[in-house]
Chain A
Amino acid sequence: MSFSNDQLERYSRHIILKEIGAKGQKKLLNGKVLIIGTGGLGAPAAMYLAAAGVGTIGLVDNDAVDLSNLQRQIIHQTKDVGKPKVISGAETINEMNPDVKVVTYQEWVSASNILDIIRDKDYDFIIDGTDNFPAKFLINDACVLSKKPFSHGGIIRFQGQTMTYLPGNGPCYRCVFLDPPPADAVPTCRQAGVLGVMGGIIGTIQATEALKYILGIGELLNGYLLTFNALTMEFRKVKLPVNTNCKVCSDKATMKELIDYEQAACDMKPSSQA
């Protein structure tokens, strides 16, 4: 594959980086990233990956754009209210960069479809942009069982967190958080609120991890939980040990099948967006 003149110009600031170069940019154009949830976290992640020239981007979401999404879900615009989010997201990406092929999955992830979605294009890296624990644990377990790297992201109020799972190289989300909290035990953003930019900060870090993984450069957040507090402007990188008793990723793993956990009563959707 050789670059067109437009591509050389479009990606010139990447190509000039010695860590990327023409070779790295080709890796990005051949790269495939699946983004589950096209909301607060998924929207900025998808846009930066599209701008970077990641050649295939999968979007999973069964929701439609709501006016209350627009405070943070920047891939959707006022004209898109009422439109399926994956369609709105695909339209934005297509306008941004014609090099990107967008694959849309207008459905919620569940134990019955997530492995098929991941396998559909044999995605290189998965971004969790969901807002609820059943989906977060499902994504973790599906990635562990299918040996796929993924980035976890979470935001609430003025806080955010992210970690990266690399198969066989550090802990998974379940190593640290064990099991989903009972429905309604932990507040959601709908109840607690969230500063709109939090998704941008954490979602963009998730996109950075995807790019570095595809390029094979730098150090990723495997084995660390990065936390951010916007009020104190503090980032902390907390080292995470592997949990040798982890139900899904350890030698003693007992989980061989995916689980659909119960949703909070206020959240009847199997998987929504941050």
Chain B
Amino acid sequence: MNINVNGKKVTLEKEINIKELLILQKVEMPDYVTVQINEELIDQEKFDLTTLKDNDAVEFLYFMGGGCIESMG
């Protein structure tokens, strides 16, 4: 089946859940990623219970603090 991850088509060999997708996609720090499926926010506690379906549009939204923390002095 095919899903869409951050706008890119991803083909899945078998049915997987969000937690497995985060590993498959090699997402850095998967504990701190906001996940949306078909424009709906998914609770982090439900990542391993939420199975992806054909044509799902998945968005991984990352923390981006900006900046460059300068010298500490």
Contact indicator B65/A154 (Cβ below 8 Å): yes
Contact indicator B34/A272 (Cβ below 8 Å): no
Contact indicator B68/A185 (Cβ below 8 Å): no
Known: A69-B70, A131-B69, A190-B70. A177 touches B41 (CB 8 A): no
Q: Which of B41, B67, B69 contacts A176 (CB 8 A)?
A: B41
CA distance A178 to B29 in the complex (A): 16
Contact indicator A40/B70 (Cβ below 8 Å): no
User: At the interface, yes or no: A204 with Cβ under 8 Å from chain B?
Assistant: no
Contact indicator B34/A178 (Cβ below 8 Å): yes
> Which of B10-18, B19-27, B46-54, B56-64 contacts its partner?
B56-64
User: At the interface, yes or no: A161 with Cβ under 8 Å from chain B?
Assistant: yes
Known: A66-B71, A236-B6, A243-B41. A131 touches B65 (CB 8 A): yes
* Interface of B, helix, strand, loop or mixed by DSSP: loop
Which residue numbers of B lie inside 8 Å of A, CB to CB? 6-7, 29, 31-32, 34, 36, 39-41, 59, 61-72
CA distance A40 to B66 in the complex (A): 8
CA distance A130 to B64 in the complex (A): 11
Which residue numbers of A lie inside 8 Å of B, CB to CB? 37, 39-41, 63, 66, 68-69, 72, 129-133, 136, 153-156, 159-161, 175-178, 181, 185-186, 188-190, 193-194, 199, 202, 225, 234, 236, 238-241, 243, 264, 266-269, 272-274
Least Cβ distance of A274 to chain B in Å?
3
CA distance A260 to B19 in the complex (A): 31
Chain A residues, CB < 8 A from B71: 66, 68
In this complex, which of A63, A130, A193, A225 has the most chain B Cβ atoms within 10 angstroms of its Cβ? Answer: A225
Least Cβ distance of B2 to chain A in Å?
19
Q: Which of A133, A176, A178, A241 contacts B65 (CB 8 A)?
A: A133
Chain A residues, CB < 8 A from B70: 63, 66, 68-69, 190, 272-273
Closest 6 interchain pairs by CB? A131-B67, A154-B64, A274-B67, A274-B66, A189-B68, A190-B69
Chain A residues, CB < 8 A from B29: 181, 185-186
